[in-house]
Amino acid sequence: MRNVYCVGVGITKYGNLESSAPELASSAAVEALTDANINPGDVDGMFLANCQGAYGGTQLHMSPLVATDLGMPNIPSVRVENACASGGCAFRLGYMSVAGGFNDVALVVGTESVSAMPTARSTETFAFGGDSEYEAKSGISFPGFYALMARAHMEKHGTTREQLAAIAVKNHLNGTRNPKAHFRKELDKQRVLNSFIVTDPLSLFDCSPFSDGAAAVLLVPENMIGRFENPIRVAGSGQASTPNALHDRQDLTTITGTSVAAEKACRQAEVKVKDLSFAEVHDCFTIAEVIALEDIGVYKKGQAALASEAGETAIEGIFPVNPSGGLKAKGHPVAATGVGQIVELVEQLRNQAGDRQVKNAKTGLAHNVGATGATVVVHILSNE
């Protein structure tokens, strides 16, 4: 198996962009090609993540369309959809393809355009990412799922709304330092607590937005990195699943797929969690950041919310989490999210993250979740 490196990254602004998903994909990909200083003709495979193409945008079969737009009309390409983990899955397939010797220059793109949909329809279609027949059709959608998990976490570990609010405040502050973030406005804790309840105990500012956006990464094997500046190594890749439906789980305060995927990635990367410099985790709701940090093993069960409230996960803290602003403030363009996390890791590990630079960043972890954890993908990148 070959070592694989990220040699080019691109990312659009996240937000309400009035562009189609293929257009956004091309924008991010062109930026990645420019960043790597390579020609479209050098790319020999594409892995494209898109979630809502069919239902929202009336475009299936998006990967060869984008490849043609980019001037690479003959390369093999696939579209991957695993709900909000689509991007992480596409990155992992691109990694596997280069590591396995099937591609020498793989382009991974995640893209989504959802803001043109009415919010109620978005919420409905995203609910299709769970166990649609039993969950969506009974009226429960993602804010409801995560509210159940938050309530269970509060009961079991004493987690408070104030602690969750501290995560929103931290991620919004980080977002002000990220020029590509959807939200670049500071929040204070009281505003989070006073915002209207979406599904008790989660209020508006506990929830990430629906964003439009795209992100792209170029991958090459080790023998090719000589011609690139600042190649960043993919040190570990892990993916695992958890039963889609909450009613199939034994414990709502944990997502077992996260623990399995993180352990696989760490084992491959030969690093311990305590040796990581920082992480981008899937904070679709504030409670999701808490559960992720505990399942990855950064904190023991019941400790992550306390630590976040104490400032440990700030950019200047002992373990920075979501320096990009996370899904909460950077935004959540569904299938782009997992690829955007990799872009953040690469920029941090190149020491090019500007105002939000994590000091002495050597090893970063990206954690991307589909639905309530039915799919979890974890990657570890390193500049060493």
Among 113, 125, 208, 277, binds a copy of itself (CB under 8 A): 125
Q: Quickly list H helices, the chain.
A: 21-36, 62-69, 86-99, 119-127, 142-157, 161-176, 189-194, 256-269, 286-296, 304-309, 326-329, 337-349
* Position 77 contacts a copy of itself (CB under 8 A): yes
CB of 142 within 8 A of CB of 246?
A: no
Nearer to a copy of itself, 58 or 223 (CB): 58
* Position 355 contacts a copy of itself (CB under 8 A): no
Q: What is the CA radius of gyration of the chain?
A: 19
* Position 267 contacts a copy of itself (CB under 8 A): no
Residue 93 beta carbon to a copy of itself: minimum distance, rounded to whole angstroms? 7
d(CA 155, CA 162): 15
* Position 52 contacts a copy of itself (CB under 8 A): yes
* Position 333 contacts a copy of itself (CB under 8 A): no
Smallest CA-to-CA distance from 150 within 311, 299, 303, 289 is with 289
CB of 6 within 8 A of CB of 228?
A: no
Q: Which stretch binds a copy of itself (CB under 8 A): 72-80, 190-198, 203-211, 338-346?
A: 72-80
Nearer to a copy of itself, 98 or 287 (CB): 98
Question: Any residues with CB less than 8 A from the CB of 166 and at least 6 apart, and which?
Answer: 189, 305, 308, 309
Among 30, 40, 55, 350, binds a copy of itself (CB under 8 A): 55
* Position 247 contacts a copy of itself (CB under 8 A): no
d(CA 196, CA 203): 5
Nearer to a copy of itself, 141 or 203 (CB): 141
Count of other CB atoms within 10 angstroms of residue 16:
16
- Longest pairwise C-alpha distance within the chain: 56
Residue 117 beta carbon to a copy of itself: minimum distance, rounded to whole angstroms? 13
* Position 204 contacts a copy of itself (CB under 8 A): no
* Position 128 contacts a copy of itself (CB under 8 A): yes
Among 24, 25, 32, 99, binds a copy of itself (CB under 8 A): 99
* Position 138 contacts a copy of itself (CB under 8 A): no
* Position 87 contacts a copy of itself (CB under 8 A): no
* Position 58 contacts a copy of itself (CB under 8 A): yes
CB of 335 within 8 A of CB of 86?
A: yes
Q: Quickly list H helices, 215-255.
A: none
Question: Does residue 332 carry a catalytic annotation?
Answer: yes
β 232-241/4-11 pair status: antiparallel
Question: Does residue 207 carry a catalytic annotation?
Answer: no
* Position 255 contacts a copy of itself (CB under 8 A): no
Question: Any residues with CB less than 8 A from the CB of 219 and at least 6 apart, and which?
Answer: 4, 5, 6, 7, 94, 95, 98, 103, 105, 106, 107, 108, 234
User: Looking at 6, 84, 89, 284, which residue is catalytic?
Assistant: 84
Residue 181 beta carbon to a copy of itself: minimum distance, rounded to whole angstroms? 26
Among 31, 35, 131, 344, binds a copy of itself (CB under 8 A): 131
d(CA 98, CA 57): 30
Residue 18 beta carbon to a copy of itself: minimum distance, rounded to whole angstroms? 14
* Position 374 contacts a copy of itself (CB under 8 A): yes
Q: Which two tokens stand for residue 343?
A: 């872009």
Residue 80 beta carbon to a copy of itself: minimum distance, rounded to whole angstroms? 5
User: Looking at 157, 172, 282, 332, which residue is catalytic?
Assistant: 332
CB of 368 within 8 A of CB of 254?
A: no
Binding site for a copy of itself (CB under 8 A): 1, 20, 51-55, 57-61, 63-65, 67-68, 73-83, 89, 92-93, 96-97, 99-102, 125, 128-133, 136, 239-245, 248, 256-257, 260-261, 370-371, 374-375
Residues with catalytic annotation? 84, 332
